[in-house]
Amino acid sequence: MVERLLFFLEFILVDFFSTYGIITIICLFLSIFLKNPILQKIQSQSDRFISFIGILYLIIFFFATIVELNISDQESKNYLLNRMFSEYWFGFWLQPLLWFSMSQLLRIKSIQKNILLKLIFSFFFIVSIERIVIIITSFHRDYLPSSWTMTSSSYSSNLFLELLIKISIFLLSILIFKIVHRKINEWKTAKNDSK
C-alpha cells in the first residue's frame, strides 16, 4: 500500500510538477514570438490542473505518512517522527509544502500573469530543493583533478523522447481534466435548471 502511494507521489512529481515547469517555460518563450491564443489557453488550463494536482499531492502525502506511521515497527516510527518534528523538521516539510503552496498560488490571477514569478515557480517545480542541495554540495568535486575522470550517467540517451512523452501525458491529462470539469459544470447547470 505504501509503495503504491509513494509511486503515485513520484509520478505526480516527475510527470506533472516537472512537466508543468517545462511547459510553462516553453509557453512563456513561445508567447514572446507568437501571440497565439492557444498558448494562453494551454497555460491557463495547466495552471488550473496543477492547482488540482497540488491538492491531490498534499492529500496523498499526508495519507502516505499516516499509513507509514501505522504499519512501521517502533524503530522506524521513531525515526520518521524524529525526522518530522525534531531539530531538522524543515527538511521533511519544506518541499511538499512549497510545491503545495506554489500550486495554490497559481489560482491568483495576478500571479498567473506575472512572468517572473511563473519562471521562478517553474524552476522550483523542475528542480527540487533536494537536488539543489546535492548539486551545491557536490560542486567542489568538479574542480578537483581526481574527479576529472568521473563520468556522469545522469542523462539518458532518449532524453528528447522522454520529454516528449512527459509533455504528451501532461497535455492529455489537461484535456481529460478540462472535459471532466466541463461535464461537471453542465451537470450543475442542468440540476439548477430542473429546480
The answer on pLDDT for 148 being more than 70 is no
Per-domain boundaries in the chain = 2-133
Distance of CA 117 to CAs 109, 113, 122, Å? 12, 9, 8
The answer on pLDDT for 10 being more than 90 is no
Q: Which residue has the cell 497555460?
A: 43
**How does pLDDT run across 78-129, given as a tens digit for each residue?**
999 999 998 988 888 998 999 999 999 999 999 998 989 999 999 999 888 8
pLDDT of residue 155: 55
Distance CA 132, CA 119 (A): 16
Q: Tell me the chain's radius of gyration from C-alpha atoms.
A: 20
